[in-house]
Amino acid sequence: MGSVGAKEVPVLLSPEGIRVDGRRLDELRPLRVVAGPLHRADGSAFVEWGANKVMAAVYGPREVHPRHLQQNNKAIVQCKYNMAAFSVDERKRPGLDRRSQEISKVIAEAFESVIFAEEYPRTSIDVYIEVLQANAGTRCAGLVAASVALADAGIPMADLVPAVAVGKVAGEIVLDLNKAEDNFGEADLPMALVPQSGRLVLLQMEGHMTREELSRALDMGVKGCHVIYDKMKAALRDRYSAARPTEVAA
Ligand code: ADP
């Protein structure tokens, strides 16, 4: 342990290049994607990604609320990202805060660019993301879950939208930051990719890195997104090839 001011800073990288949780620099946390676990929603997905647990539910296309948001030529995409009070170490104050509003907005915008919204004028496609347990990277986990939930709801889209955060930790570019790396690393850069077109539909950065590092980080993130993409597609295949999960819809 080193220390900066009052904060204890853990050793984030071993001399052999192994991270606090035993991963290599370009290794993702274990990721499990389940399509269609909820029966009341039009589409749903559950994502367990490292210590993150995120549920997404999709409703629509349906009537727009509030009505004045309705658009005559296309569907609108509305997103609500919420962190449960019990999702973090110290109880989070429930309800809408600025961070949740910002994340909801950037996720809705990412989906607006892939959903064929013109097919459903005057309707709303509503995406709910509930973070049940958080350990950094929840906006990316939320995007992955919501993307699979949208596909599960049968919403026509150009592609799924895998997402991952890349960053800089102890001077090295790393894939998929965990909480310690997010807290004590030098940079955190969540990104979302449309694999078939190669377009990035979300890119944010906190911290600092050089242009050369940024370029390597983007390459690493794109590779990571392709691995995540395959898991998302596999979850949808499982959903429609196997019988529904054991619970019976009431
Ligand atoms: P992301 O979850 O997309 O990485 P942030 O970088 O804002 O978003 O947050 C990093 C992590 O910090 C979250 O995943 C969560 O573990 C933690 N965190 C965020 N907001 C809070 C909060 N209000 N209270 C406690 N922990 C939080």
Q: Distance from the CA of 88 to the center of ligand 1, in angstroms? A: 8
State whether the beta carbon of 104 lies less than 6 angstroms from ligand 1. Answer: no
Q: Distance from the CA of 222 to the center of ligand 1, in angstroms? A: 23
Per-residue pLDDT at 250:
43
Q: Distance from the CA of 67 to the center of ligand 1, in angstroms? A: 33
Q: Distance from the CA of 136 to the center of ligand 1, in angstroms? A: 6
Stretch 126-131: mean pLDDT:
98
As a whole number of Å, the CA-based R_g of the chain is 19
State whether the beta carbon of 82 lies less than 6 angstroms from ligand 1. Answer: no
State whether the beta carbon of 135 lies less than 6 angstroms from ligand 1. Answer: yes
**Alpha-carbon gap, residue 206 to 99, rounded angstroms:** 14
pLDDT tens sequence across 107-125: 999 999 999 999 999 999 9
DSSP string, the chain: -EEETTEEEP--B-TTS-BTTS--TTPPPPEEEEE---SSSSEEEEEEETTEEEEEEEEEEEE-SSGGG--SSS-EEEEEEEE-TTSSSS-PPPS--HHHHHHHHHHHHHHHTTB-GGGSTTEEEEEEEEEEE-SS-HHHHHHHHHHHHHHHTT--BS----EEEEEEETTEEEES--HHHHHHSSEEEEEEEETTTTEEEEE--EE---HHHHHHHHHHHHHHHHHHHHHHHHHHHHHHHSPPPSSPP-
**Alpha-carbon gap, residue 75 to 61, rounded angstroms:** 7
**Alpha-carbon gap, residue 139 to 47, rounded angstroms:** 12
Residue with CA at minimum distance from ligand 1 atom 22? 92
| pTM score of the predicted model | 0.94
Looking up tokens 């039009």 gives: 42
Per-residue pLDDT at 9:
78
pLDDT tens sequence across 47-98: 999 999 999 999 999 999 899 999 999 999 999 999 999 999 988 888 789 9
State whether the beta carbon of 179 lies less than 6 angstroms from ligand 1. Answer: yes
Fold of 23-236: Ribosomal Protein S5; domain 2 (3.30.230)
Per-residue pLDDT at 249:
47
Is a pLDDT exceeding 90 seen at residue 18? yes
Is a pLDDT exceeding 50 seen at residue 21? yes
Give 8 or 215, the one with higher predicted confidence: 215
Per-residue pLDDT at 91:
82
Pairing of the two strands 123-133 and 76-83: parallel
Amino acid at 168: K
Decide if 217 contacts 209 (C-beta within 8 A).
yes
Is a pLDDT exceeding 80 seen at residue 1? no
Sign for the pseudo-dihedral over CA of 97, 98, 103, 104: positive
Amino acid at 91: R
Residue 242 CB-density burial (10 A; 0-12 exposed, 13-18 middle, 19+ buried): exposed
The share of the chain scoring above pLDDT 70, in percent, equals: 94
The share of the chain scoring above pLDDT 90, in percent, equals: 88
What is the CA 229 to chain-centroid distance, rounded? 12
State whether the beta carbon of 144 lies less than 6 angstroms from ligand 1. Answer: no
State whether the beta carbon of 201 lies less than 6 angstroms from ligand 1. Answer: no
Per-residue pLDDT at 69:
96
State whether the beta carbon of 107 lies less than 6 angstroms from ligand 1. Answer: no
Per-residue pLDDT at 123:
98
Per-residue pLDDT at 183:
96
